[in-house]
Amino acid sequence: MTISSQEAFSKALVQSLIGERGHLPIARALSDIDLELSGRSLENSPYTIYQLISHMNYWQDFMLTHLKGEKPQMPANVSESWPTEVQAVDEATWQDVLDRFLQGIDYACELARTMNLEQPLVYFPGETAAGLLRNIASHNTYHLGEIVLLRRLFGAWPPPGGGYPA
């Protein structure tokens, strides 16, 4: 049985969204980050892990809203996508932020498996479902690299189960 180019691209998108092959799976890289680590600051670093995940959530939600055929509210300035607080108020709130992010990835994967990836987006002229899913994957990957670097600098790498490079 041969796999269609649509199916092959769908599979590649899912792998990119979860972090297979190109880097450690996102869920594993974040699995042991607690409230304290999420809000830890490093001199001259503009963001904490909490701020990075919150920013990733913001744009992931924005793009998923487009993929649902809805029109998200465009921020007046990109700075609105960054929280001003350096960490969540408590562990439960931090876990909610992290869970929402990972659930968004799961939803994006489901869309990559089931949507017509060539479908143009109603409120995003010139963009397709595939393009926006690829954008979610690349944006998350970019910021995951920053999170991994912060974790390394804090001596909090690798996560349980190991990381590569170790």
Q: Is residue 121 part of a domain?
A: yes
pTM: 0.95
Q: Is residue 114 part of a domain?
A: yes
Extract the runs of DSSP E, i.e. beta strands, from the chain.
Answer: 120-121, 124-128
Q: Is residue 124 part of a domain?
A: yes
Burial string for 126-149 (b: 16+ CB within 10 Å, else e) reads ebbbbebbbebbeebeebbeebbe
Cα gap 38→92, rounded to integer Å: 12
Q: Is residue 31 part of a domain?
A: no
pLDDT at residue 6 above 90?
Answer: no
**For residue 94, what are the domain limits?**
5-20+54-153
Strand 120-121 to strand 124-128: parallel, antiparallel, or no bridges (unpaired)?
A: antiparallel
Q: Is residue 40 part of a domain?
A: no
Residues 6+ apart with CB under 8 A from 82: 47, 51, 54, 55, 58
Q: Kindly report whether the peptide bond that precedes residue 72 is cis, defined as omega within 30 degrees of 0.
A: no
Q: Is residue 15 part of a domain?
A: yes
For 99-126, how does the pLDDT look when each residue is reduced to its tens digit (9 = 90+)?
Answer: 999 999 999 999 999 999 999 999 999 9
Domain count within the chain:
1
Cα gap 63→155, rounded to integer Å: 33
The reported pLDDT for the residue numbered 3 is: 80
Torsion angle of C-alpha atoms 56, 57, 63, 65, degrees rounded to 10: -170
Q: Is residue 26 part of a domain?
A: no
Q: Is residue 119 part of a domain?
A: yes
Q: How confident is the model at residue 166 (pLDDT cuts 50, 70, 90)?
A: very low
The percent of residues above 90 in pLDDT, for the chain, comes to: 88
